[in-house]
Amino acid sequence: MALEATRGMDAHLMPMVQKFSARTEDGKDITAELQEFANQIGLEQAAPGRYSLLLVLGLFGSVKAGVLNPAKVVHEIRALEGIGPPSQLKPPRQNKHQPLKGLWHKHYLEDGLRATAMNVQKGLNRHGMPLFEQRIRETEAAGETRYLTAEDIPALVNDVIGGNLERLATAKALTGEWIVFAQHEGRNYYLCLATHEPSTHDHVRRQIDAVCCLEFSFLSSLLDRA
């Protein structure tokens, strides 16, 4: 896919239609399709003109591949913008290490088993197995010897999985992958999706340099100062 980005103006100073153009490798212009996609998922309404082509492409490709519900990303952006329900995931944090130093990230909840497993493991590390531990205390207090039965398992499993997910959500501590964004003059500019794995961040930075720095004139100096 060939990408073109307007240089030298902040995105909020120009209409979305002037912000970027995009073509597939065979030359098909998909600019209008991407703009309509951004409107349909609520991204344009949440952060008008303050999101990159790189983010739109990441969401568009993930939807086409059936691996991500874009509403989960837009939900987090709306929460950051103060126009939607509060997030139940970890709060935004500024990156302290290169190559993404100076930028910020906000977690969003992925689809699929991996995200669930990651949060269940975090819940186990933080909260353990409260119902099972309660049963042990009750047994010790009664001075009895009790054995787990097949009938006990569903409640214990539900507490480990559903209970720990609910505890993390209540504490706004659910984890996931990243929405990478920049802050400039009190506003957020949403750049791309990324994983939290440091091994992927050099590639993410190269994409930001190639695309986002052409879209948002302040970004290159922000990154240079970091």
Q: How confident is the model at residue 174 (pLDDT cuts 50, 70, 90)?
A: low
Q: pTM of the entire structure?
A: 0.75
| pLDDT tens digits for range 47-86 | 999 999 999 999 998 898 888 899 999 999 999 999 989 9
Query: What DSSP string runs through the chain?
Result: -EEEE--SS-GGGS-GGGTEEEE-TT--B-HHHHHHHHHHTTHHHHSTT-B-HHHHHHHHHHHHHT---HHHHHHHHHHHHTSSPPPSBPPPEE--STTSTT-EEEEEPPSSHHHHHHHHHHHHHHH--HHHHHHHHHHHHHT------GGGHHHHHHIIIIIHHHHHHHTT-B--EEEEEEEETTEEEEEEEE-S-GGGHHHHHHHIIIIIHHH-TTHHHHHHH-
